[in-house]
Amino acid sequence: MQFKKLGLPVVALGLIASMVSPSHAQMLKDIAEAAPNENIGPMPHEVPGDPTKMNIKQDKSTNIWRELREGTGGKEPGPIDIQRYNLQMEPVGIQTFFKLPVAITAEDLKAGEIDIAIFGAPTGALPHSAGNMWAPAEVRTTRDYGGYGDPQFPLSWIEYETLIAPFTILNAVDYGDVGLNPYNQSHTMEEIRRVTREVASVGAIPFIVGGDHSVPNGTYRGIVDVYGKNNVAILHFDVHLDRDMGLGKFGAYYHSGVFMNRAVEEGMVEGRHIIQYGMSTPVFGAEEYDKAAADGAKVYHIHEIRRDGVRETFDKIYEDLKDIDLVYVSFDIDTFDMAYAPGTGSSSPIGSKPEDLFPLLREFAATKTIVGADFVEFNPFYDNKGQQTARLVRRTMFQFLTGIAMKKEGIDPKYIHPRVSGEP
């Protein structure tokens, strides 16, 4: 305070202080030099002598996040419709995916002869995707102005081009969320794989709402557990190539850019049965394209799609997959231009348009046999107040669901209702 009263400049204050006592930095240096400089041992997670292994703490809380409750309240196996009214408008009732009934166990799925089991996989493996953990909850509570309730109720939402109400054809349920271990991504992947396998093993189609794009590291493996190696193609929608070289980014096995490379290298799928659609962002080197090409994969870039046309590109995809019918779809919401999908941590200013892609998604699902699908990289924290991206996620799912319903009923995949197509 005395220096301040004197009105001395800051530089002068520093000179006076240096004459009075040694600098703070010098003081700390002296203390450090006199300190014992001990190496207190390895980090708690390290296995001494083996840096490739991690010591995981085991106690009564280690697995509580994935320990299943005993029983289901004494009820008979089968889905539970937890809504009060036959027609539930969006703001009313208990929030489930599309206001569908709830199932908890594989026995519920079997008893209800379920076609589609929608469940959340709330992961966030990378810093920009941490908010993805809240995506399943946000998609459940998205306002979409529709009427839901009993999926057999005739006033359920109908698809806008076919005028088909998929929930009057498909037996669908909300299968809850996969358990999340927020401190151990690999353990979460194990549980995602288990639940996916559980759904697929009873003949239902798992529809997974992520989560970030690490999700298919667990889901696709669960699908292959059921349907076998080299029997299920991958159709990957994204603006990113997701073909990071190597099998681990900074030592992390289960991130958003590795699942396809890993699937090929582990013999889960032939490279030629991986189709990638919509790429339009920079990559970490041309060798990533070379790797995909060497595997035999087909990569359809936005440049090529816009030059040749969306339908023409899908015709090529059908030709690429002509010798395999079972398909797993991995749909990154950043496939769409950021003008349509702002709510993602890795949005791109160059992407697809919903009006171009929706009819072809529906047609594809009505043509091939979808055995699983994930919808990932929606981050509610980046979305706007109108839930623009959340609604887009739901509409994208709705197109696939409509196509699967059409396939179940044997409807022509290219069908458009006459009233919509302009026919009398």
Lowest-pLDDT range, 94-98, 179-183, 201-205? 179-183
- Could you tell me what percentage of the chain is helix, strand and coil, using 3-state DSSP and rounding each to the nearest 5? 40, 15, 45
In this predicted structure, the answer to whether residue 68 has a pLDDT above a threshold of 90 is no
| Segment 164-190 mean pLDDT | 89
In this predicted structure, the answer to whether residue 4 has a pLDDT above a threshold of 80 is no
- Could you report the per-residue pLDDT of 287-309, keeping only the tens digit for each? 778 888 888 999 999 999 999 99
For 367-393, b/e burial (b = at least 16 CB within 10 A) is bbebbbbbbbbbbbebbeeebebbbbb
pLDDT at 247: 53
pLDDT at 166: 92
Closest CA to 244 of 193, 196, 281: 281
pLDDT at 94: 87
Looking at the structure, give the CATH architecture of the domain made up of residues 80-421.
Answer: 3-Layer(aba) Sandwich (3.40)
DSSP for 102-143, please give it.
B--SHHHHHHTT-SEEEEEE----SGGGGGGGGHHHHHHT--
What's CA 323's distance to the chain center, in Å?
27
In this predicted structure, the answer to whether residue 8 has a pLDDT above a threshold of 50 is no
HEC sequence for 308-324: HCHHHHHHHHHHHCCCC
pLDDT at 2: 46
In sequence order, the 6+-apart residues with CB closer than 8 A to the CB of 287 are 245
Q: What are the structural domain ranges in the chain? A: 80-421
Burial grade of 410 (CB within 10 A; 0-12, 13-18, 19 or more): exposed
pLDDT at 75: 78
Q: Tell me the backbone φ, ψ of residue 341, rounded to 5 degrees.
A: -135, 75
pLDDT at 72: 57
- Could you report the per-residue pLDDT of 366-398, keeping only the tens digit for each? 999 999 999 999 999 999 999 999 999 999 999
pLDDT at 215: 94
The pair of structure tokens assigned to 396 is: 């994208």
The pair of structure tokens assigned to 66 is: 């994935």
Q: Categorize the per-residue pLDDT at 16 as very low, low, confident or very high, splitting at 50, 70 and 90.
A: very low
pLDDT at 249: 57
pLDDT at 42: 74
Looking from the CA of 351 toward its CB, the CA atoms found within 13 Å total 24
Lowest-pLDDT range, 106-120, 123-137, 163-177, 221-235? 123-137
- The predicted model scores a pTM of 0.86
- Could you report the per-residue pLDDT of 339-360, keeping only the tens digit for each? 999 999 888 889 999 999 999 9
